[in-house]
A and B are shown apart, each in its own frame.
Chain A
Amino acid sequence: MSTTTGVRERVESMSRGDSSSETMASLEVRDLITEFRGRRGHVRAVNGVSFTVPRGGVLAVIGESGSGKSAMLRSIIGINPPSTLIEGNILLQGKDLLKMSQRDRRRARGRDISMVFQDPLTALDPVYTVERQLVETIKKHHEGISNADARSRAIGLLELVQIPSPGARLKAYPSELSGGMRQRVVIAMAIAGRPQVILADEPTTALDVTVQARIVRLFRQIQREVDAGLVVVTHDLGVAAELADEVAVMYAGRFVEHGSATQVLTTPSHPYTEGLIEANVRAGQDRRPRAIPGAPPSLKRLPAGCAFAPRCAYAIADCWSAPAPIRDTATHHWSRCLLASNAATSS
């Protein structure tokens, strides 16, 4: 396909977050830590995550439920509860969001960086119509736009996200829409300001496969138009395969594997990734799906060694003593596993 060379180049710069200045990074995250502090202990939801998304690049983050994927995106967009500790650097076109004033950060939100939230119902206000919420968002990004223009833009956005009879749907309240329509309204709001970086938290879970394919292409189209970077969190490995250049796998607050979508999904090099792909129900499957045995560790007290060791079929004694190091397994493909080897380079 015609895109492959471009993708390859981008991949080279994305993996491991080498933010070389030649390829403009649209988003660069360095050693991000997110800790929810509470009376009953601190929950370290994100525990040192680094990655770079170049302009026009797509990173899909897959992984365990409760491993910190949403917390990571919320930290980047800047909407965590007040008692949350956030450390590290979040560079948006070179500027550190964590060092900006609250005011500048608010201004950047929606215009430079936007987010599609995991739960569309909480992202929409139940007492206002879709029209009111969309028009408000559009007005925020286009100062001085007339009501009529904002309204026709709103209709255009709903058309773009494939909502039938958009004119009629403007008057609907969120509760009057189906789950998938709400999800698409939230996507419409996120792309309204044509931001440089879009964070999407499971944007397609409520969509059927035909609409899903269109939304995937829509994301790509918008990205191409404004050369935006996209970080998409998904449990749907098919969507990750369809949409992403790169895939990162998250477990207990950390990326445990990162590489091109093809590498990670077809030749996983971390036992957790392998288990995740293995658990996926395939077409025509009769046998019971195989869950990874055991439960994830408590984020209040992470084990000293590899966080996956208690559940890992390959664990050896060394796995329990110190955190697993990052091992390159192929060019721009790494795994946080003691046993991962550089098999691919020998070929």
Chain B
Amino acid sequence: MPEAITSVQAEQPGENGNSLPKRPLLELIDISKEFDVRDNGRRATLSAVNEVSLKVRTGRTLGIVGESGCGKSTLARVIVGLHAASSGEMLFENRQIETTGRRPRKIVEQMQMVFQDPSSALNPRATVGESIGFPLRVQGASKKEIDARVKQVITDVGLPASYVGNYPHQLSGGQRQRVNIARALALQPKLVVLDEAVSALDKSIQAQVLNLLADLQRDYQLTYVFISHDLNVVEYISDEVAVMYLGQVVEEGSAKALYENPRHPYTQLLLSSIPTLDPAQSNRDEPIGAGDSEIPSPISPPSGCRFRTRCPFVMDICSEVLPPRVEAAPEHIVACHLYSEGAERNDGAVAAAAS
């Protein structure tokens, strides 16, 4: 672990100092999050996020995909400071920030999150206008400024301005989700973490919001962490993509490389399951069971490679040794024994090669 940190620090001063903003805005170093839970009456530890290291560059989008329950939302909450990390470090604009306690308001305001459950994030007693305007008021904006900004963002996300007076229960699911997006954007943060932010929207509104996000990114150098189960949308919007499985990042790379040439067996499985628009290709009447190995639990994750219980290529070593992160191609990192060539390619060497 200390090794990783030194390598990161060594890399910082403008090494890749070209004109493009390639500098990471946010950097996660070995972030883990564990929860205490009960397993049939006994105390147990649930490893929701395990030693995740990722960089999100200024003005870019990092997509995160992975199975339901693999730790995406937990990681998102750790990033914006809603969960204390169990261990690991975080750099924001090259400065170390708090991962286990309260953060200064200035940092908090620069990172906004759109939550997966849109209704839980809205105060049922506040109107749409009040919800969006509240953080602006905290910042000390005038009433006139707030009204104008609220109106602007609400029309940006495709809602009629007349909705400012509505309460959350008077909105449809997609309308609520758009209020959340509007609220996150109203503060003009530097980083926006979008957790399933467009999945409750119809395809036309989704297109509108995706285009809005792209425009804001271009105009204000906004940086996004974009979590979604819609793999086509992630491919479209992301510059880099990280694939998570049971709390760990198993593959990361540019969206193009990863989708064109997925290396990790889990990524391959995931990408081959994207449904098409052709009803004739449906396998809906195949019985469940055959070929559907059980999904393991993060309460007692498999030893070695966590994917080994479902992997078609599993080898002896996979149950014994955690696969190291290997740079299988430039800037394309995969954690799988199929790609590790001998013992000399350890973590440190890979980190050095990646920088």
Which residues of the partner chain B approach A172 to less than 8 Å between Cβ atoms? 37
B68 close to chain A: CB less than 8 A = yes
Contact B68 A211 (CB under 8 A): yes
- B 157-199 to A, binary, CB cutoff 8 A, 1 in contact else 0: 0101010010001111111001000000000000000001001
A119 touches B285 (CB 8 A): no
Q: How far is the CA of A279 from the CA of B198 in the complex (A)?
A: 13
Contact between B174 and A289, CB atoms less than 8 A apart: no
Interface residues on B, range: 35 or more
| B117 / chain A contacts, CB cutoff of 8 Å | 119-121, 179
**Which chain A residues numbered 51 to 70 have a C-beta less than 8 Å away from chain B?**
62-66, 69-70
Contact assessment for B66 and A208 in the assembled complex, using a CB-CB cutoff below 8 Å: yes
* With contact pairs A178-B68, A207-B68 given, residues A289 and B276 touching in the complex (Cβ less than 8 Å): no
User: Is B152 in contact with chain A by the CB < 8 A criterion?
Assistant: no
Q: How many residues of A contact B (CB 8 A)?
A: 81
Closest chain A residue to B233, Cβ basis: A281
**Is B207's CB within 8 Å of the partner chain A?**
yes
Judge whether A277 and B277 touch: CB under 8 Å. Answer: yes
Interface string of A255-287 (1 = CB under 8 A from B): 000001110011000000001110111111110
Judge whether B211 and A283 touch: CB under 8 Å: no
Contacting pair A207 B229 (CB below 8 A): yes
> How far is the CB of A116 from the nearest CB of chain B, in Å?
13
Determine if B275 and A221 form an interchain contact, defined as CB atoms under 8 angstroms apart. Answer: no
B69 touches A180 (CB 8 A): yes
Known: A168-B37, A217-B286, A221-B287. A206 touches B68 (CB 8 A): yes
**Contact (Cβ within 8 A) B288 A221:** yes
Which of A262, A277, A283 lies at the interface centre, i.e. has the most chain B CB atoms within 10 A of its CB?
A283
Residues of chain B with a CB closer than 8 A to A289's CB: 203, 206-207, 210-211, 236
Q: Is the CB of B69 within 8 A of A238?
A: no
> Mask for A155-198, Cβ within 8 A of B = 1, else 0?
00000001011011001100011111100100000000000000
Kindly state whether residue B87 has any CB partner on chain A within 8 Å: no
Q: Please measure, in the bound complex, the distance between the C-alpha atom of A201 and the C-alpha atom of B173, giving whole angstroms.
A: 10
User: Closest CB-CB distance, B250 to chain A, in whole Å?
Assistant: 14
Name B47-102 residues within 8 Å CB distance of A: 65-69, 73-74
Q: List 23 A-B contacts (CB under 8 A).
A: A3-B285, A36-B170, A62-B202, A121-B119, A164-B295, A178-B68, A178-B73, A179-B117, A180-B229, A181-B69, A201-B173, A205-B200, A206-B116, A208-B67, A210-B269, A214-B288, A221-B287, A236-B199, A236-B275, A242-B282, A281-B206, A281-B236, A284-B259
Task: For the complex of A and B, list the 10 residue pairs with the smallest distance between their C-beta atoms, beginning with the closest.
Answer: A180-B68, A65-B174, A238-B275, A289-B207, A165-B297, A164-B297, A291-B207, A291-B208, A168-B39, A209-B273
Given contacts A36-B170, A202-B173, 14 further A-B contacts (CB under 8 A): A62-B202, A65-B174, A120-B117, A122-B119, A238-B275, A239-B275, A241-B278, A261-B279, A275-B204, A280-B203, A283-B231, A285-B232, A288-B211, A291-B208
